[in-house]
Structure 1
Amino acid sequence: MHRFLVSLFFLSTTTLAQHARTGTNNTREPFAHTFSIVARDEKTGDLAVGVQSHWFSVGTTVSWGEAGVGVVATQSFVNKSFGLRGLALLKKGKTAQQALDELLRTDEGRDVRQVAIADARGNVAVHTGKKCIDFAGHRKGKNYSVQANMMLTSKVPDAMAAAFEKNAGLPLPERVLSALNAAQGAGGDVRGRQSAVLLVVKGKATGAPWDENHVVDLRVDDADQPLRELERLLRTHRAYEHMNNGDLAIEKNDMKRAMQEYGAAMKQFPQNLEMQYWTAIALANTRQVPKAAGMLRAIYAKDANWRELTRRLPKVGLLTVSDADLKTLLQ
């Protein structure tokens, strides 16, 4: 009798898991046992999803977001349709909880799902199925939810929540990373770690999705230390934000602002030749040719192709110096 009951339980659980992996369109869905956070920044309205998992390319599965709409994290025995369907429900005016209720109502695999939604109005909803693999759980706070399954310890959600609340003064991307690092510090995934993602979208749509939708969109698909790599990518992203701001300042002929932005970028990554190069070009365009020439000589010594680029810039108006100064810059 005991063997019969054990076998019956195994078969029912296996059948549920197999059904859950089939999804809503009879397509195989991936596992993504993991920890994640969905959050909204009260000051900016921006929305974020952060994830780490021992699963390849978790960012293609768990994290979903749209500017002015919301963010979704769908994990455990993943129903990927929850991402786009959840966002579509939010666009129709549903709250995060109403959207989540609708997704789960139509899903026979709800007991093995874990999903969280944050909408642009500040509402948050989360579900952890009763058959998610231990340790599994979630914590919901103001403007955020943290959720985890298949964790080494039961402390992960509390650690994530505490870190997110403690670091309220940080920008949203860095704040989300603090929660992910706290999860790993509390034990993380029982299997280890492999990939991570950080997605941030604007809280308000402006009608220009090419500018607004992905404020930050960073993925680490396969790494020994995915969170460490994600942090490096975020620092690089911040540096290139300064570079982009410098370029915009040049377009407006605001050379002082351009130099400030380029300088901030170089300070973060002093060995990056691209950042050094455009700073030198900005110096040359502000009649600081000797200083620019010194920087360029050091760059050419490391990679002569930058000298060839310098030759090409006057033709398109990106380098506005005399022929004599150009000769100096090419030495």
Structure 2
Amino acid sequence: MKKIFYLLGIGSLLGATTAQAQTTSVYKPNEPLAHTYSIVARDPATGEMAVAVQSHWFSVGTSVSWGEAGVGVVATQSFTNKSFGPRGLALMKQGKTAQETLKILLSTDEGREVRQVAILDAKGNVATHTGNKCIKYAGHITGKQFSVQANMMLSDQVWPAMSRAFEQNAHLPLAERVLAAMDAAEAQGGDIRGKQSAALLVVSGKKSDQPWQERLIDLRVDDNPVPLKELRRLLTVQRAYQHMNNGDLAVEKNDMALAMKEYSAAEALQPDNLEMQYWHGITLANTGKIDEAVKILAPVFKADKNWLILTERLPEVGLLTVSPADYKKILNAK
């Protein structure tokens, strides 16, 4: 790895002072060489902001993608300066625009010509930089409230394809729209080295008094032969479990009709998930539809007897409210 640094004629930069190293982070052996393609984007209807990335580098999402609700998102890649993520968000939080933030970050970075970075703020302003020493093919396209960028690509058609795909899929939710752009990049050959990891982060457009709710989607595929395919699968699971969460909240409010609707939606997305089938069955039982509940629960109990044991524990906490006769019928489900 060190040989790469010296071949690039930058060995002398490693002698920077400690203070300089804290701001420039130029070519440290422990920093990722996340040559990759990515997208930053905002949904003008919801205000949600997203950043997605794919690379032939392990756990790329821990280095490239950064975001904060009501503030913005950052993608920092190529010879990655990871500090651009938290520092960029801090600057935007102070009121700097995306362009002002990018200018400040690059002004103190001696390695700016091998950096690639895209910044989007909560107002939809976008700023992108591709250093003139990024490994070809490298480039970016900035559009209306989005930017696509790539380096070390197989061809120079990668980022134009991403831009087209993003613009052509405006009807999709932001996460799916961003993934459409990522798929378009891969269809053009993507990273010349191949595929290994990917990440998708979506944050709310506004701050709230419930910060734990502001990171809407946070998915990473750290090591996989087909990371984008796995990322899509995880997004489907995420959507399904959101329905499960909504169902649980409905149960807390004793709205069994809504709970059943949400559990059914989750099960439709994950038809082989035993837990989703189980809570669908329990909700049916709690709404008096015992025969329908038994029909769903019987194969769940057969597949894993622990669900039957769990069922025996539900009445004492009020999560299974049926008559003794119906309770017995459920436990004997076959």
TM-score of the alignment, normalized to the shorter chain, above 0.5: yes
The yes-or-no answer on 1:41 pairing with 2:43 is yes
Q: For the Cα contact (< 8 Å) 1:17–1:77, is it kept in 2?
A: no
CA separation of 1:41/1:242 partners in 2, compared to 1, >3 Å: closer, same or farther?
same
Secondary structure at 1:13 match in 2: coil
Q: Is the 8 A contact 2:290 2:330 kept in 1?
A: yes
Shift of 1:23: 6.0
Q: Which residue of 1 aligns with 2:187?
A: 185
Matches within 5 A, 1:288-307: 288-307=289-308
User: What residue in structure 1 maps to residue 226 of structure 2?
Assistant: 225
Mapped contact 2:24–2:81 kept (Cα < 8 A): no
Does residue 1:68 correspond to 2:70, yes or no?
Answer: yes
- Residue 13 of structure 1 corresponds to 9
Whether 2:151 is the aligned partner of 1:152: answer no
C-alpha deviation, 1:93, in angstroms: 0.2
Q: Please say if 1:323 is aligned against 2:324.
A: yes
SS state at 1:215 partner: strand
User: How many residues are treated as equivalent by the alignment?
Assistant: 321
1:131 to 2:127 alignment: no
Contact 1:19–1:109 (8 Å) recurs in 2: no
For residue 9 of structure 2, what is the amino acid of its counterpart? T
Q: Which moved more, 1:314-323 or 1:99-108?
A: 314-323
Q: Which moved more, 1:248-257 or 1:88-97?
A: 248-257
The Cα of 1:183 is off from its aligned counterpart by 0.4
Structure 1 residues 236-295: Cα deviation after superposition (integer angstroms, max 9, x where no partner): 111111111112222222222221111111112211101000000101110111221222
Question: What is the CA–CA distance in structure 2 between the aligned matches of 1:17 and 1:298, rounded to whole Å?
Answer: 64
Deviation at 1:18, TM superposition (A): 5.8
The alignment partner of 1:65 has SS state of strand
Report deviation, 1:14: 3.5
Q: 1:23 to 1:11 in 2, by over 3 A?
A: farther
| 1:276 counterpart SS class | helix
- Supply the distance in 2 between the matched residues of 1:111 and 1:287 (Cα, whole angstroms): 67
Give, as a single letter, the amino acid of the residue that structure 1 aligns with 2:211: P
Matches within 5 A, 1:196-207: 196-207=198-209
* 1:130 positional shift: 0.6
In structure 2, the CA distance between the partners of 1:221 and 1:119, relative to structure 1 (3 Å rule), is same
Is there any run of 5+ residues in structure 2 with no aligned partner, and where? Answer: 1-5
| Matched-pair identity in % | 63
Q: Secondary structure at the match of 2:220?
A: strand
**Partner residue in 2 for 1:275:** 276
Aligned equivalent of 2:86: 84
**Alpha-carbon distance between aligned partners in 1 of 2:224 and 2:98, rounded to the nearest angstrom:** 33
How has the CA–CA distance of structure 1 residues 17 and 162 changed in structure 2, closer, same or farther, with 3 Å as cutoff?
farther
Q: Per-residue deviation at 1:12? A: 6.1
Structure 1 distance, partners of 2:159, 2:24, is 32
- Contact 1:32-1:77 within 8 A present in 2 as well: yes
Other structure's SS at 2:161 match: helix
| In structure 1, C-alpha distance between the alignment counterparts of 2:15 and 2:192, rounded to whole Å | 24
The Cα shift of 1:59 comes to: 0.5
TM-score (norm 2): 0.92
CA–CA distance in structure 1, aligned partners of residues 172 and 107 of structure 2: 37
The C-alpha deviation readout for 1:125-147, integer Å capped at 9, x for no partner, is 00000100000000000000000
Q: What value does the CA root-mean-square deviation take over the aligned residues?
A: 1.8
The question of whether the paired residues in 1 share the 8 Å contact of 2:36 and 2:150 is answered with: yes
Contact 1:23 1:79 in 2 (8 A): no
Look up the SS of the partner of 1:126 in the other structure: strand
- SS of the equivalent of 2:276 reads helix
Name stretches of at least 5 consecutive residues in structure 1 with no aligned partner. 1-9
